[in-house]
Structure 1
Amino acid sequence: MSGRVVAQEQPKSFAFTPENLKKAKAIIAKYPKGREQSAMLPLLDLAQRQNDNWVSIAAMNTIADLINVPYIRVYEVATFYTMFNLAPVGKYLVQVCRTTPCWLRGSDKITKTCKKKLGIEMNETTADGKFTLVEVECMGACVNAPMVQINDDYYEDLDEKNMETLLSQLAAGKKVTVGSQIGRQTSAPEGYKGKGATPAKTSAKSSFDASSKDATKKVKVGMTPPRNEVTQPTSKTKGSTKSSPKGKK
């Protein structure tokens, strides 16, 4: 995401590399004749990856020519979807989620850490061209909040310390751990160590837990659950109706 502002300075031309042109034609071939415009989104993504993580107007026009649509049609799509960057960005596009779940878990501290570590404000790029910092809305990883997306990858369970470490490792060209930064397995409860492991200990069991366990012991496999006399009256319940004899209504 780049603030949805189209770059004022635009390259005069764009052409897919021979390898990417081959990929582009393969993408277009997946769609029926006359429906080539359905390839627009993957072609924009392909162009962005070739063009240092942003889509120029020249790239949009090249795609329009490939799928035989007016230039404005590709421009409309590229400027609508926020995953397409409309201006040059850094090598690492750091997108900090600012939606409520992440904010409640400390995303404001993550934002401050990024600004301090990188020496830039939101929607700015570092002088060396390595990092661009932006804020985004929910990216669907609320359970592991706070989180950021950097290029294609999610980094979750962040705090000031591991966020600073992550940025330092990227700046140094080191390999980084994608996903949870505290060793969490996907979205498992904190402390869970893998399949078959015992989850982390919690506080003493509540009376609800105990009563649920007792109730489970009393119910046998295949046992018919008790009827609700209000919604499912039995034949002994006042006002119940008798079933009709077989063959009669």
Structure 2
Amino acid sequence: METLQRYHQDINITPALTERINELISHYPEGRQKSALLPVLHELQDAHDNWLSVELQNKAAEFLNITPIEVYEVVTFYTMFNQKPVGKYMLEFCVTSCCAINKAEDVMDYACEKLGVKPGQVTADGLFSVVGVQCLGACGYAPMLQLGDFYHEHLTKEKVDQLIEDCKADKVTLHDK
């Protein structure tokens, strides 16, 4: 079992990020700013190496004028929010029924072995994390993984090798923004 520890994160709230967060909040009626919590958390996470420290979660609460516990409840519920540092390239393997039947765990184990990590760990160079996640809703394309905003489907060891090499060569797009 991993020892609980507090992770430090440098927080950089730029004027552009503040403007974007305020714009998101403006989409909701006065007094209902909490409704912007999910998009605000996504913006903060995207701007801070894909994870949310307690301090950054507190900053979200401050932006939304809500209590920190209201943010913690959401961050701990949704697996799309990372509470500790992750690799630049987070390989999220679907491990539910259809993918499991199609040997997703074997492909995930192969990726872990190739990268020298266990699920949930970050490679020494900070480039990769491998995690198992629940259904990504692409059952017809099993086994599959999500990398950033994109799905990689019908996985084989060879496809995983190519994906890792493309990441190392910085040839992979993570976001569709």
How far apart, in 2, do the equivalents of 1:26 and 1:86 lie? 25
Gap runs ≥5 in structure 1: 179-249
Task: Tell me if 1:139 matches 2:136.
Answer: yes
Point out the structure with max Rg over C-alpha.
1
**Equivalent residue of 1:133, what SS?**
strand
Per the TM alignment, residue 151 of structure 1 is displaced from its structure 2 partner at its CA by 2.0
Alignment pair present for 1:102 and 2:99: yes
Paired AA for residue 146 in structure 1: P
Quote how far apart the aligned CAs of 1:15 are: 4.6
Read off the aligned partner of 1:161 and give its amino acid letter.
Answer: E
Counterpart among 130, 139, 150 of residue 127 in structure 2 = 130
Any idea what SS the aligned residue of 1:125 has?
coil
Task: Give, in whole Å, the separation in 1 of the partners of 2:62 and 2:172.
Answer: 39
How far the C-alpha of 1:112 sits from its partner, in A, is: 2.5
User: Normalised by the size of structure 2, how large is the TM-score?
Assistant: 0.90
Query: CA contact under 8 A between 2:108 and 2:130: conserved in structure 1?
Result: no
Counterpart check, 1:56 vs 2:53: yes
Q: Whole-Å Cα distance in 1 between the matches of residues 30 and 158 of structure 2?
A: 53
Q: Could you say which residue in structure 2 is the equivalent of 1:86? A: 83
Q: Distance in 1 between matches of 2:121 and 2:162?
A: 20
- For the residues of structure 1 that align with 2:4 and 2:39, how far apart are their CA atoms? 20
The structural deviation recorded for 1:169 is 1.2
Query: Secondary structure at 1:124's aligned position in 2?
Result: coil
Higher helix share: 2
83-92 vs 57-66, which moves further: 57-66
2:32 maps to 1:35: yes
* Paired residue secondary structure (1:95): strand
Q: Distance in 2 between matches of 1:126 and 1:118?
A: 7
Identical positions, percent: 38
Equivalent residue pairs, number: 172
Q: Alignment partner of 2:82: what SS?
A: coil
How many angstroms apart in 2 are the aligned matches of 1:24 and 1:153?
Answer: 24
Mapped partners of 2:4, 2:90: distance in 1: 17
User: Normalising by structure 1, what TM-score?
Assistant: 0.65
| In 2, Cα distance between equivalents of 1:7 and 1:26 | 34
State the alpha-carbon separation in 2 of the partners of residues 7 and 141 from structure 1. 35
Q: Which amino acid aligns with 1:54?
A: W
Match in the other structure for 1:112:
109
Instruction: Say which SS state the counterpart of residue 86 (structure 1) adopts.
Output: coil
How far off is 1:7 after superposition? 5.2
**In structure 1, distance between residues paired with 2:14 and 2:73:** 24
Q: Show structure 1 runs of 4+ deviating over 3 A.
A: none
Alpha-carbon deviations, 1:109-141, whole Å to 9, x = none?
211320222111111111100001111111110
Contact 2:7–2:53 (CA under 8 A) maintained in structure 1: no
Change (3 A) 1:40 1:6: farther
SS in 2 for 1:103: helix
**Structure 1's 131 and 50: CA in aligned 2 closer, same or farther, altered over 3 A?**
same
